[in-house]
Amino acid sequence: MAEFAKRTFYLTYYIGGTMSIIYSEKEKTFTLHTENTTYQMQVDKYGFLLHLYYGRRTEGCMDYLLRYADRGFSGNPYDAGADRTYSMDALPQELPCQGTGDYRSPAVIIKNADGSYGCDFRYKSHRILKGKYGIPGLPAVYGDGDTAETLEILMEDSVTDIQVTLLYGLLPGLDIVTRSAAIQNLGSGKIYLEKAQAACLDWLSGDLDLISFYGRHTMERNVQRIPVSHGAHVIGSRRGTSSHQYNPMLILAEHETTEDAGGCYALSFVYSGSFKGEVEKDQYNQTRALLGLTDELFSYPLERGETFYVPEVVLTYTNQGLSRLSHNLHKCFRLHLCRGKYKDCPRPILLNSWEASYFDFSGDSLYALAKEAADLNMEMLVLDDGWFGHRSDDNRALGDWFVNEEKLGGSLGSLIQKINGLGLKFGIWLEPESISEDSRLYKEHPDWVMALPGRNPVRARNQLVLDFSRPEVVDYIFEQVCKVMDQGNIEYVKWDMNRSLSDCYSRNTKDQGRVFHDYMLGLYDFLERLIKRYPDMLLEGCSGGGGRFDPGMLYYSPQIWCSDNTDALDRVRIQYGTSFGYPVSTVGSHVSAVPNHQTGRITPLHTRSITAMAGTFGYELNPETLTEAEKEEVRKQIRDFRKYEPLIRSGLYYRLTDPFRELPAAWEFLAEDASEVLVSVVMQEMHGNMPVMYLRLKGLPEGCFYQEQQSGQIFASDALMGGGIPLSDQFGDYAAFQFYFKKI
């Protein structure tokens, strides 16, 4: 454990003062108090670490909840002697292991040096520390000694000499508990981790709903809510990225829980690769939820002395409904996960060249775009795909990270200078993990791609994936990328990844069960080096839009392109789903042209801007195609966004309607001090003789007054929350409104 602590950050020994993590020697309990929640565990008489409770804040020892009975066909550990009422199959646990008589899904499976499967970890010691633990090579929530605490519990398997240090991080002020683990092989031979998940939550009773977020390319994070039932419900990704298909997050909510009331839990995985989330009601109607690395194609070797760090899961609980649950996650990710210069400040309003001109541009046309952008008061031009090698379309040149000066009509440096001369920043697109077969890099290093031996590789978007589990590949691409970055004042990078991994194989190792995870470690290493070397650069994550929209990426890039779908109507749904787990400050969102390039739908410019304002805001169109009146409108949108930006970025976000079920899609930003409120509404359908719809605001302090700034009308806060505001003057397809209130 000492060795582990040396490598963690932010930690100092606890020497005095009040701690929120309390160990009771008498009851052998660890109690983790946050402002509104309590998480409690207990070392039982045999040294197992039992989970006693997670929920609303409470005092006292919760072991009175445990009941023991002779359960047929549920095994008993040898230590229990003739006591047939003690079974791991029925007890709530922190670290359920395969082979202990617990037949529910385990968090850990180990193949031992002698080929046997099984492990049995018992409590050895613990430490309570100020500050939040870090995890070598992996993204993690951070916090200093004033905001965070850490509990390390050392568990040991005395037969194999494998140790697990369970890590609990606490942000008491935000009701956040994080979980990770370090698994160290101190035994005599090589072992394999066959499953290693950081978070297990066992509920003794209760009927819960599972809310998860499924989707597809250009339609990410749809919301599904289903009752937890017998039989496991499993979500996950086997794509090597967190994926468009399932977001690495689970919400468990009581049946009655709504946006505004009721108990609910979130589990969010701080990782960007394959994952697995499982929820199952067991034979005794107890529920177990697990979230972490997938065990499929995972078999991670640990030689004697080696340590494996299990990626972290963020947990939060509230008894105040889903809005509050989201607020907890939003604050945690915005303030304790995102890093860097742009973490908590305005991002430049950008014009992206992709939907403006795709691959069809020259230095002159880019300069013309930049002039238009400057004329409209935007702040940055982003040169998207197509500027490197012979990348004339998406079939070639990935991996050739050198500038196509012929296409640009000069050097990148001179183009950037000209654009900077217009008062604009400059940003660029990269896809470093990918390679085209039609590229110089592939000719030089065909062995650097992922492909199964003796077989042709699987193509997707006609491209292959570089083996980022190999340090020499990562080093080479890093060098190439730096050479590009050093050619001029590049202030933003869009980091893309446009396919899923499939036939994953590395020539570097005999242990293929490590490759998916090592790929992620290689990627994280690259990203860490990049942001360290260019600390003023704004990194935006992207994977065909929102295919890697996860907390892991947020540790490196404070914003992520939310979806390749820029249609305002689809976007309100995608952004609605995204908002459950992620703060608006992280949501890349742009106004694009109509008819929309993904759906063909025509929505008003005003509606597109209101939708994009629930994000980082920018444009993705050729301004030359706009009329003078539209240009004037764009200038106004930019003025409006600048005015509202601090509120949008850091206000409390409320979902006012569910756009999957209700006609108006509506959301609210409320300043934390309640001094101002911005409400946005998009009408999803129009019908004849429409009934009046009323929109009720949320979260306002009672007994005070607000003035709507456009109409001047004054409302009591209770009227806004109780009676709402009528939406009666909508007309035309997809009308949108904004109401901006100030407290008086």
Position 544 contacts ligand GLA (CB under 6 A)? yes
Closest CA to 195 of 278, 305, 279: 278
The stretch near ligand GLA (CB under 6 A) out of 144-152, 296-304, 539-547, 735-743 is: 539-547
Work out how close the CB of 477 gets to ligand GLA at its nearest, in angstroms, rounded to a whole number: 17
Q: How far is the CB of 618 from ligand GLA (least distance, A)?
A: 12
DSSP states of 317-386:
EESBHHHHHHHHHHHHHHHHT--STTTTSPPPPEEESHHHHTT---HHHHHHHHHHHHHTT--EEEE-S-
CA dihedral for 133, 139, 140, 143, sign (positive or negative): positive
Measured from the CB atom, the residue of 547 and 558 that comes closer to ligand GLA is: 547
CB of 334 or CB of 494, closer to ligand GLA: 494
Angle (CA) 333-248-534 rounded to 5° is: 45
If we measure between CA atoms, which residue out of 270, 217, 277 comes closest to residue 243? Answer: 217
Token pair in block for residue 9: 């950050």
Q: What does the angle CA 547 – CA 548 – CA 549 come to, to the nearest 5 degrees?
A: 100
Q: Is 550 a catalytic residue?
A: yes
Does residue 220 belong to the site contacting ligand GLA (CB under 6 A)? no
What is the contact mask toward ligand GLA in residues 342 to 381, using x (rule: CB under 6 A)? ------------x---------------------------
Smaller CB separation from ligand GLA, 58 or 392: 392
CA-closest candidate to residue 676, choices 632, 638, 698, 706: 706
Asked if 565 is part of the footprint of ligand GLA (rule: CB under 6 A), the reply reads no
Compute the 3-state secondary structure of the chain and give helix, strand, coil in percent, each to the nearest 5: 20, 30, 45
Annotated catalytic residue 630? yes
Binding ligand GLA by CB under 6 A: which of 94, 209, 220, 564? 564
Nearer to ligand GLA, 30 or 617 (CB): 617
Q: Does 498 bind ligand GLA (CB under 6 A)?
A: yes
Whether 176 contacts 314, CB under 8 Å: yes
Q: Does 175 bind ligand GLA (CB under 6 A)?
A: no
For ligand GLA, the closer CB: 498 or 578: 498
Nearer to ligand GLA, 384 or 491 (CB): 384
Rule CB under 6 A: is residue 542 a binding residue for ligand GLA? yes
Comparing CB distances to ligand GLA, the nearer of 545 and 651 is 545
Q: Which is nearer to ligand GLA, 123 or 388 (CB)?
A: 388
* Least Å from the CB of residue 158 to ligand GLA: 51
Instruction: Find the shortest distance in angstroms from Cβ 496 to ligand GLA.
Output: 5
Q: How far is CA 145 from CA 3, 16, 133, 740, in A?
A: 20, 12, 10, 38
| Residues 408-467 within binding reach of ligand GLA (CB under 6 A) | 429
Structure tokens given for 701: 């302090």
Taking the complex as a whole, the smallest distance from the CB of residue 431 to ligand GLA amounts, in Å, to 7
Residue in 278, 385, 550, 676 annotated catalytic: 550
List strands edge to edge, sheet with 618-620. 587-588, 559-561, 538-541, 490-495, 425-430, 380-383, 350-352, 618-620, 591-592
Read out DSSP for 713-735? -EEEHHHHHHT-EEE----STT-
Can you tell me whether residue 6 is helix, strand or coil?
helix
Q: DSSP class of residue 550?
A: S
CA dist 399 → 128, 385, 395 (Å): 47, 12, 12
From 120, 149, 152, 384, residue interacting with ligand GLA (rule: CB under 6 A): 384
- Please list, in sequence order, all residues whose beta carbon lies within 8 angstroms of the beta carbon of residue 169, skipping any fewer than 6 positions away: 132, 133, 140, 141, 143, 148, 149, 150, 176, 177, 178, 179, 180, 312
**545 in contact with ligand GLA (CB under 6 A):** yes
- Burial track 322-359 (b if 16+ CB lie within 10 A, e otherwise): bbbbbbbbbbbbbbbbbbbebeeebbbbbbbbbbbbee
404 binds ligand GLA (CB under 6 A): no
**561 binding ligand GLA? (CB under 6 A):** yes
Alpha-carbon distance values, 641 to 153, 287, 334, 340, 697 (Å): 47, 45, 19, 22, 21
298 belongs to the binding site for ligand GLA (CB under 6 A): no
Collapsed DSSP state (helix, strand, coil) of residue 548: coil
Q: Which of 35, 256, 486, 630 is catalytic?
A: 630
Reference 291, options 179, 403, 203, 430; nearest CA is 179
With CB under 6 A as the contact rule, the residue among 44, 259, 295, 385 that binds ligand GLA is 385
* Closer of 513 and 577 to ligand GLA (Cβ): 577
Nearer to ligand GLA, 289 or 356 (CB): 356
Q: Closest distance between ligand GLA and the C-beta of residue 535, in Å? A: 24
Closer by beta carbon to ligand GLA, 546 or else 552: 546
Stretch that binds ligand GLA, among 97-105, 226-234, 540-548, 591-599 (CB under 6 A): 540-548
Q: How far is the CB of 612 from ligand GLA (least distance, A)?
A: 14
Residue 727 and residue 693 in contact, taking contact as beta carbons nearer than 8 Å: yes
Tokens read off for 710 = 């456009």
C-alpha R_g of the chain: 27
Q: Nearest distance from residue 493's CB to ligand GLA, in Å? A: 12
In which element (H, E) is residue 640 found?
Answer: helix 628-650
C-alpha to C-alpha distance for 601 and 733, rounded to whole angstroms: 10
Instruction: Provide the minimum distance between the beta carbon of 389 and ligand GLA in the complex, in angstroms, as a whole number.
Output: 13
Q: Work out whether 394 is an interface residue with ligand GLA (CB under 6 A).
A: yes
The stretch near ligand GLA (CB under 6 A) out of 131-139, 322-330, 368-376, 537-545 is 537-545
Residue nearest to ligand GLA as judged by C-beta position: 385
CB of 354 to ligand GLA, least distance (A): 5
What are the tokens at 243? 């994926």
Q: By CB under 6 A, how many residues form the interface with ligand GLA?
A: 12
Residue span binding ligand GLA (CB under 6 A) among the ranges 71-79, 171-179, 441-449, 542-550: 542-550
CB of 543 to ligand GLA, least distance (A): 7
- The pair of structure tokens assigned to 660 is 């999957």
Task: Please tell me the distance from the alpha carbon of residue 287 to that of residue 278, in angstroms, as a whole number.
Answer: 10
What binding mask, one character per residue, do residues 81-100 give for ligand GLA by CB under 6 A, x or -?
Answer: --------------------
Residue selected from 152, 157, 496, 540 as contacting ligand GLA according to rule CB under 6 A: 496
Shortest Å distance, C-beta 487 to ligand GLA: 20
Give the nearer residue to ligand GLA in terms of CB position, either 37 or 589: 589
Instruction: Write phi, then psi, for 380 (nearest 5 degrees).
Output: -155, 145
Instruction: Provide the angle, in degrees to the nearest 10, between the axes of the packed helices 412-421 and 363-375.
Output: 20
Interface positions with ligand GLA (CB under 6 A): 354, 384-385, 394, 429, 496, 498, 542, 544-545, 561, 564
Active site positions, annotated: 550, 630
